[in-house]
Amino acid sequence: MKFACVGECMIEISNLPDGGTLRHFGGDTLNTAVYLARLGTPVDYITALGDDPYSDDMIAAWRDEGVGVDQVQRVPGAVPGLYMIRTDAAGERSFHYWRDQAPARQMFAGENSDAVARALADCDWIYFSGITLSILDDAGRERLINALRAARSSGAKVAFDGNYRPRGWASADEARAAFAMTMPQIDLALPTYDDEQLLHNDADPQACAARYHDAGVAEVVIKLGPEGAIISGPASIEQVPVPATITPVDTTAAGDSFNAGFLASRSSGQSATAAAQTGHKLAGTVIQHRGAIIPTNAMPKFEAN
């Protein structure tokens, strides 16, 4: 199975307890792409970068991780977006962004969209998020949706994580409208309940799942943090607990890594329950390290499927 992850990667600056900083690269769909590659799943990252040294470094790092970079567009004179992470004593993080001119906003502009659509049509799975939608203008979102529709007609499946971040949208109404346009093209949704409740005011996770099903999404996996995840299909619903309680060091990329574990396992033929357990195991390891991408030697071991 070949995946394409669509979105934006930025320069990530993390504040350390001693007052120093640590530089990485990160972005929700990029994090998922890296963890998919580490789990042995072929994956391309689809985005746009500049022609600057930081963009060169990103591409080199992704290539070293085994992430395909042939579809990365380069925009002359542009530089990637940047974000800083502040982490409190409980491991919860807050983000501050500098990304208004980021080249990823142009990946579905003009002729670029034709190249992206052709790349997506060659994939078995396409993964993107609400953050992907938030960086595109109305025309870009429409081109993305058209590309998803064409890819699905060729047999691809589409996975989506709402990952709602209010600062990325002009209003909650704009976000809800963009999500609603996208739902008919989604096969698997991987939302976080706190995000969904903030945007849609769902009464409980079951109501959240029902809303996705009503929009045509067949399988919904709702992440509940330390309470595990709820898996909802057309005729059943199940809660899959986390295997152990963990005190996090940094919750950055918890959901992104869960998504990678779930997608890698599910696309290889495992049950949704087994896939959620894989996602929990990976996310539980990631939140014990600082930053979105943990050292390769810190990756948990998984039995071959």
Q: Which of 155, 84, 140 is nearest to 107 (CA)?
A: 140
Nearest to 93 by CA among 15, 164, 163: 15
Asked if 175 and 130 count as a contact pair (C-beta separation under 8 A), the reply is yes
Name the pTM for this structure: 0.93
- In terms of C-beta density within 10 A (0-12 exposed, 13-18 middle, 19 or more buried), how is residue 54 classed? middle
In-domain check, residue 293? yes
Residue 7 DSSP SS3: coil
d(Cα 168, Cα 83) in Å, to the nearest integer?
A: 13
Q: Is 105 contained in some domain?
A: no
pLDDT at 304: 60
CATH of the domain at 211: 3.40.1190.20
Of the residues 44, 161, 250, 256, only one is catalytic, namely: 256
DSSP state, 301?
P
Residue (of 265, 279, 221) closest to 41 by Cα position = 265
DSSP, collapsed to helix, strand or coil, labels residue 43 as: strand
In angstroms, the CA 149 to CA 142 distance is: 11
Confirm whether 164 is domain-assigned: yes
Sheet bearing 157-161, strands edge to edge: 43-46, 3-6, 125-129, 157-161, 188-189, 219-223, 229-232, 237-240
The tokens for 250 are 């940094």
User: Which residues have C-beta within 8 Å of that of residue 118, sequence separation ≥ 6?
Assistant: none
Residues 6+ positions from 161 with CB-CB distance below 8 Å: 28, 127, 129, 130, 189, 190, 191, 192, 255, 256, 259
Residue 149 placed within a domain: yes
Rounded Cα distance, 186 and 189, in Å = 7
80 lies in some domain: no
Q: Is 137 an annotated catalytic residue?
A: no
Nearest by Cα to 290 from 8, 82, 12, 9: 12
Closest CA to 81 of 97, 69, 94: 97
d(CA 1, CA 43): 9
- Report DSSP letters for 62-120, one per residue: HHHHT-B-TT-EEETT----EEEEEE-TTS-EEEEEE-TT-GGGGTTSTTHHHHHHHHH
Position 63 in a domain:
no
pLDDT of residue 87: 73
Q: What is the pLDDT of residues 252-267, one digit of tens each?
A: 899 999 999 999 999 9
**SS3 state at 223:** strand
CA distance 220 to 242: 17
pLDDT in tens, the chain (305 residues): 899 999 999 998 887 778 888 888 889 999 999 999 999 999 999 999 999 999 999 999 999 999 999 999 999 999 999 988 787 777 677 878 888 899 999 999 877 789 899 999 999 999 999 999 999 999 999 999 999 999 999 999 999 999 999 999 999 999 999 999 999 999 999 999 999 999 999 999 999 999 999 999 999 999 999 999 999 998 889 999 999 888 888 888 999 999 999 999 999 999 999 999 999 999 999 999 987 899 999 999 987 65
Q: In a 3-state reduction of DSSP, which class is residue 100? A: coil
Residue 91: the pLDDT is 65
C-alpha dihedral (131, 217, 267, 133), degrees to nearest 10: -10
Q: Does 231 map to a domain?
A: yes
The total number of structural domains in the chain stands at 1
Domain contains 126: yes
Domain that holds residue 178: 3-9+27-45+113-298
Question: What residues are paired with 220 via a beta bridge?
Answer: 189, 232
